[in-house]
Amino acid sequence: KRPVVGGFLLLRLQQQQQSSTSFPGSTSLARSRNSDSIWFAVMLFKGALSAALALAAVPTVRGDDDDAGVIRLSLSKRPNHEMVSEHLARERDALVAILEGKERETEQGKGKKVIIAEEVATQRRRRLRGEENEEEEEMISHDLEDGKDENVIIKDYANAQYYGTVHIGSPPQEFTAIWDTGSADLWMPQKGCTHCGYCNPLTKNTSLCKDKYDSSKSDDYEEDGADFEIQYGSGSVKGVFSKDTVTLAQDIAVHHQRFAEVSDAGGMGVGYVMGKFDGILGLAFDTIAIGKTTVFGGAIEQGLVKDPVFAFYLGDEGDGELTLGGYDETKFEGDDLKYVNLDKATYWQIKLDGISLGDAYSTDSTTAIVDSGTSLLTGPSAEIAKIALAVGAKPNVVGEYTVDCKDVDSIPDIHFTIDGVEYSLAGSDLVIQASNVCLFAMMGMDIPAPGPQWILGDVFMRRWYTVFDMGEERIGFAKAVKQQ
């Protein structure tokens, strides 16, 4: 007999605690060839990935009938020392690449600037529209059949910090996924996928050996066959669309759900091979889905969740939690959520009245997206440089900043005003510390207008419980309770 815990369906995953290996991120552009319309998926900066053991799940617990359709998923968090060690590795690799580039330039002796390693270039050139590349500009700015013209955010998953499980097929096959509000599709590697990890007796039970979907083992598999392709800086990720039963928390089964089976993940680079995830589960709107449908949208349509709502509670030093079909009142202070309507129902984009940092910095109204898959806070490079200067943060060659750990307590609070309400982060919230290294948790990213100018990632969501209301097209915020 399964015990009742808080009237919710609960899935627990062990927290990841393994050391990391760094790999450079890359800008990504996703598109489908399924129809005459070209659809793109968004991919924002998430840094570099680490080698670690795969997540392990404990038994699922269902609540009583009154709470049927509301589930909670525990999301494992990568510890701070991994984030900092990868920052140091990125800096080291970039310096090596620069030195190698200078050597090549000297050998050529033509006085021309040599294009150095891809990772350095992409760190400096993160944007929505390719103003420097006419072909890329044409691909990203596109007219859809219904006459709409949407900007698409470009991102990668190199520094995603939270992971959870999802099951596909009948009987269910288990996978580790990034639950990402910054994209809308579900994809997983298929059996026989190339560049999809390394499996041998030594790596069998680690994240180096990716779990792969096997359609022959699923009674609910339906062939689709439409092409799926994602183009990354280092190459493409290719596959085909299929349909199958996608199960959340083991027994909330979304039937006939369209998803992508990836046959070649080479475009994700070595970072994917070493990463702690098998694939991506997008939680944005189906208007930006390559496959034109989303898993959560399917759950809503099939009446599997209580309300068209999900919410994130991100653990600081422990596991986070994702609630589907509602929100968890025990995870935030008080009894009132402050809602703000979306500026655009594509990504979870809102308007900001302004941002301020004591008397040292302020900005006028702007736009932002709230992204569970982005670890840091990002904004225009010039604005982030002003904030970094105000707090004494120093930049490195890949556009990241560090602060002197002894000065962390003197960093002033930063305030984000949203729909007239001020949401503050303490100065210490803006630092990811391990040993004697303090990584400043803000990074410059230039996204040309009319795209969102700021990204409120995990740094923001850790302090502010966030409710994503797909039905009303709004986001709710409340101060998150501290973990015990």
Helix ranges, 236-327 (H): 270-274, 295-301
Give the chain's end-to-end CA distance (angstroms, integer).
28
Nearest to 340 by CA among 432, 478, 444: 478
Q: How far apart, in whole angstroms, are the C-alpha atoms of residue 471 and residue 483? A: 30
Interval 368-399: pLDDT, tens:
999 998 888 999 999 999 999 999 999 887 77
* Bond prior to 450 in cis (omega within 30° of 0): yes
| Six-digit token string for 114 | 């040599």
| Six-digit token string for 451 | 């795209």
Which residues carry out catalysis? 180, 371
Q: Per residue of the chain (484 residues), what is the pLDDT tens digit? A: 222 222 222 222 223 333 333 222 333 333 333 333 323 333 333 333 222 223 233 333 333 444 666 788 888 776 565 655 665 566 556 656 656 665 555 445 444 333 333 443 343 333 332 233 333 333 333 333 343 333 344 455 655 668 889 999 999 999 999 898 988 999 999 999 998 988 877 887 777 889 999 999 999 999 999 999 876 545 577 999 999 999 987 678 999 999 999 999 988 777 677 778 899 899 999 998 999 999 999 999 999 999 999 999 987 767 889 999 999 999 999 988 999 999 989 989 999 999 999 888 999 999 999 999 888 899 999 999 999 999 999 988 777 899 999 999 999 999 999 999 999 999 999 998 877 888 899 999 888 888 899 999 999 999 999 999 999 999 999 999 987 6
35, exposed or middle or buried, with CB in 10 Å at 0-12, 13-18, 19+? Answer: exposed
Residue 251, number of CB atoms within 10 A of its CB:
13
- Can you give the pLDDT at residue 317? 67
Q: Which residues, in sequence order, are CB contacts of 103 under 8 Å at separation 6+?
A: none
Q: How far apart, in whole angstroms, are the C-alpha atoms of residue 399 and residue 119? A: 11
Nearest to 418 by CA among 476, 348, 468, 480: 476
CB–CB of 428/411 below 8 Å?
Answer: yes
Query: Residue 460 in 3-state DSSP?
Result: helix
Q: Which residues, in sequence order, are CB contacts of 8 under 8 Å at separation 6+?
A: 61, 63, 67, 70, 71, 72, 323, 328
Q: Which residues, in sequence order, are CB contacts of 84 under 8 Å at separation 6+?
A: 432, 433, 434, 435, 437, 439
CB–CB of 186/260 below 8 Å?
Answer: yes
Q: What stretch of H or E contains 424? A: strand 421-425
| CA-angle at 466, arms to 328 and 74, nearest 5° | 55
Interval 112-145: pLDDT, tens:
333 333 443 343 333 332 233 333 333 333 333 3
CB–CB of 157/47 below 8 Å?
Answer: no
450, HSE (Cβ side, Cα atoms, 13 Å): 9
Q: How far apart, in whole angstroms, are the C-alpha atoms of residue 56 and residue 12? A: 8
